[in-house]
Amino acid sequence: MSDKSILLQSIPEGLGTHKPQGHAKLSAWIDDCIKRCQPAQVFYCDGSEAEKKFLEKEAVRMGILTPLNQDKLPGCFYSRSHPNDVARVEQLTFICTPTKEAVGPTNHWRDPQEMRAKLMGMLDGAMKGRVMYVVPYMMGPKDSKLTQVGVEITDSIYVVLNMRIMSRMGEAAYERLGADGDFNKGLHSTLDLNPERRFICHFPQDNEIISVGSGYGGNALLGKKCLALRIGSALAQRQGWMAEHMLLLAAESPEGKKHYIAAAFPSACGKTNFAMLIPPPHFAGWKITTIGDDIAWMEAGPDGRLYAINPEAGYFGVAPGTNYKSNPNAMKSIARDTIYTNVALTPDGDVWWEGKDGDPPAEASDWLGNAWAPDSPDKAAHANSRFTAPARNNPVLAPEVDDPKGVPISAIIFGGRRASTVPLVFQSFDWEHGTFLGATMGSEMTAAAAGGLGQLRLDPMAMIPFCGYHMGDYFAHWLTMGKKLKNPPLIFGVNWFRKDEQGRFVWPGFGENMRALKWIIDRCEGKVDAKETPIGHLPRTEDFDLEGLKDFGPADFEKAIAYDPAGWQKDYALAGEFFAKLGEHMPKELSARLEKQKAAVK
Ligand code: GTP
Ligand code: SPV
Ligand code: MN
């Protein structure tokens, strides 16, 4: 019988011993965590290749990871979560600030002292008989001034191996800290994975995160949504920069001219796909490269443009629907050194999910570990099953990812999953109207968060689950940033998900989204005119390149961009309710803009 002891065994010499020295506050915090959680072992990570190999081997021995077929998927592992721990839990995510007012009505609030006491109670002795891992990491390129250092203390080896892919993990983080640098404290324990004892808590004033009861990405990989967005957005507001739920891509024309584009789409609404887009054959000579697929940190540059970095180093992407037709670059990115979570496992050690290439396997073991066959009533992979892959695997990774000053953004795109109303692509009138457009965007909810699947909700700037302070103040911050930018990006809206009367998507999407991107770039370069409507500038059919598109002509295009005043009246009514909830924090300019827009679409 294999030994499933969860303590690390036969630790090679030199591993696990990299206890940080010379930063008194850091050492004191680590000591506090050890006293509190009482682990049986403490393993100080250094981020080395030898450490990765050792921890993978141990995770396999413990039964937490399963090696996949190494001929087909070298360096890849399979993992199943607890069945109740498959997505973010917005109801159990809290911002703990001295006043409730500070977090606004769109966040869940708890008093910091009360919450801390409750969490400390749960963490007392929580790591008895377990290993505590101390994980130093950087969010952002090594020498960027926007880069943040975090240290995550966790009892999950799965979390360590995922953090290693998603962040710049290792001792360089301690070097950047020096003797007294500020760092994010992140304490994570899976406890017993009981949803009753699951709390994802943020303490922005202490630059601290405490997360218990979940091992799922967004809840447990603390550098990602917790630090880079919730704590990050609050920090950005205080310091005058932006932390956004945005992909970043570079689009290079056949003439060699580059534009950098940022796009905010809600969870599971197409960021990874758009960031890795391959232009259709008709766009030969165009090249799209990826800077990031989920998070952007942005600041005003000396030239008055907005500069962006991707704080992450990997992709925690949605598996279902990913295939060689929809996203070949993602398929190549996940061909090696990838951790697959909650997909299906085939008898030959391969993975499968709904919407992967080819026929479904004749038999498989589903995400719950049950026997599955193509005629099984349930899905083989969980709808929010994911891959964790290093960015360096991406064949179209932009070299700019490591540039400490970031890339200057030409256009910001807001998009959502909307069966109706929102056209394929349109442009706002200016920064303020673009902010309004982002502030009023809705989207149908996806499996990335527990509950509400398919329901339309307002998700301003795709930040509803991730804004770490009052949404009204967040809107005001957007307006302030616009005033700081002499050359602000142009702001656009897109919708890849409009449906016809039969419930089919009207737009082919994926690589064909290049056509909308091309129009956006043409607008940035002042090359094409547009149709003026109350909601913004719409593309004229003659300016939108439809050549080479099968079964989709000008009439279909006109359906995809149709301006639907009745739909907008409903949208603006929803936005009005939302703005009202934000009360005194709501910027007057945007409330006034709403009244103007309401009148215009009547
Ligand atoms: P998070 O990682 O949750 O923030 O999501 P994301 O925005 O990166 O979403 P992703 O690109 O992984 O897409 C999620 C789902 O939308 C996948 O199932 C895709 O296949 C599907 N999708 C992406 N782009 C398109 C598109 O242009 N059209 C259609 N119809 N579906 C798309
Ligand atoms: C999202 O839900 O927007 C994600 C996945 O990108 S997670 O990191 O789990 O939040
Ligand atoms: Mn996301």
Q: End of a domain among 193, 214, 239?
A: 239
Give a yes or no: residue 170 inside a domain.
yes
According to the model, what pLDDT value does residue 521 have?
Answer: 98
Q: Distance (Å, rounded) from C-alpha 9 to C-alpha 12?
A: 9
SS3 363: coil
Domain tally, the chain: 3
**Pairing assessment for the beta strands 314-318 and 386-390 based on DSSP bridges:** antiparallel
CB atoms within 10 A of CB 142: 13
Cβ atoms of 186 and 150 within 8 Å: the answer is yes
Say if residue 122 is in the same domain as residue 187: yes
216-262 pLDDT tens trace: 999 999 999 999 999 999 999 999 999 999 999 999 999 999 999 99
Considering the domain architecture, whether residues 420 and 294 belong to the same structural domain is answered as yes
Tell me the percentage of the chain whose pLDDT exceeds 90: 99
- 2 has pLDDT over 80: no
Whether residue 383 has its Cβ less than 6 Å from ligand 2: no
User: How many CB atoms sit inside 10 A of residue 544's CB?
Assistant: 21
Which pLDDT belongs to residue 1?
Answer: 40
How large is the average pLDDT for residues 84-90?
97
DSSP class of residue 479 equals: H
The pLDDT-based confidence of 36 (bands split at 50, 70, 90) is very high
Ligand minimally distant from the alpha carbon of residue 318: 1
Q: Tell me the pLDDT tens digit for each residue of 280-298.
A: 999 999 999 999 999 999 9
Q: Which atom of ligand 2 is nearest to the CA of 448?
A: 2
Considering the domain architecture, whether residues 493 and 573 belong to the same structural domain is answered as: yes
Q: Whose CA is nearest to atom 17 of ligand 1?
A: 321
Together in a domain, 154 and 31: yes
Last residue of a domain, one of 364, 390, 416: 390
**Looking at ligand 1, which atom is closest to the CA of residue 294?**
4
| Number of Cβ atoms within 10 Å of the Cβ of 447 | 17
What gap in Å lies between CA 403 and CA 144, rounded to an integer? 8
Using most ligand atoms within 8 A of CB, pick from 167, 224, 315 the residue to mutate for ligand 2.
Answer: 224
pLDDT digits (tens, 9 = 90+) for 416-448: 999 999 999 999 999 999 999 999 999 999 999
Segment 533-557 mean pLDDT: 97
Alpha-carbon distance of 274 to 535, in angstroms, equals 24
Cα within 13 Å of Cα(454), Cβ side: 1
Task: Say whether 524 is catalytic.
Answer: no
Which numbered atom of ligand 1 lies nearest the CA of 273? 11
**Per residue in 390-405, pLDDT tens?**
999 999 999 999 999 9
How close is the Cα of 219 to the center of ligand 2, in Å?
9
In a domain, residue 270? The reply is: yes
Whether the per-residue pLDDT at 3 is higher than 90: the answer is no
The average pLDDT across 298-320 equals: 98
Q: Is residue 155 part of a domain?
A: yes
Please check whether residues 283 and 199 belong to one and the same domain.
no
Are 275 and 234 part of one and the same domain? no
**Chain centroid to CA 317: how far?**
8
Confidence of residue 5 (pLDDT cuts 50, 70, 90): confident
* Per-residue confidence (pLDDT) for residue 4, from 0 to 100: 65
Of 16, 129, 3, nearest to 61 by C-alpha is 3
Q: Angle CA(367)–CA(369)–CA(374) in degrees, nearest 5?
A: 70
Residues 287 and 163 in one domain: no
Residues 486, 414: one domain? Answer: yes
Average pLDDT score over residue span 370-386: 98
Residues 412 and 560 in one domain: yes
Residue after which a domain boundary falls, among 206, 224, 239: 239
* Residue 342 sits in the same domain as residue 293: no
The reply to whether ligand 2 has any atom less than 6 angstroms from the CB of 314 is no
How confident is the model over 457-470, as a mean pLDDT? 98
Q: Give the residue-averaged pLDDT of 174-180.
A: 97
**pLDDT tens digits for range 327-348:** 999 999 999 999 999 999 999 9
- Percentage of residues in the chain with pLDDT exceeding 70? 99
Range of the domain at 437: 244-314+397-601
Considering the domain architecture, whether residues 39 and 126 belong to the same structural domain is answered as yes
The conformation of residue 90, written as its DSSP 8-state character, comes to G
* Distance of alpha carbon 381 from alpha carbon 377, whole angstroms: 12
What pLDDT shows up at residue 381?
98
Same structural domain for residues 331 and 431? no
Of 487, 541, 546, nearest to 512 by C-alpha is 546
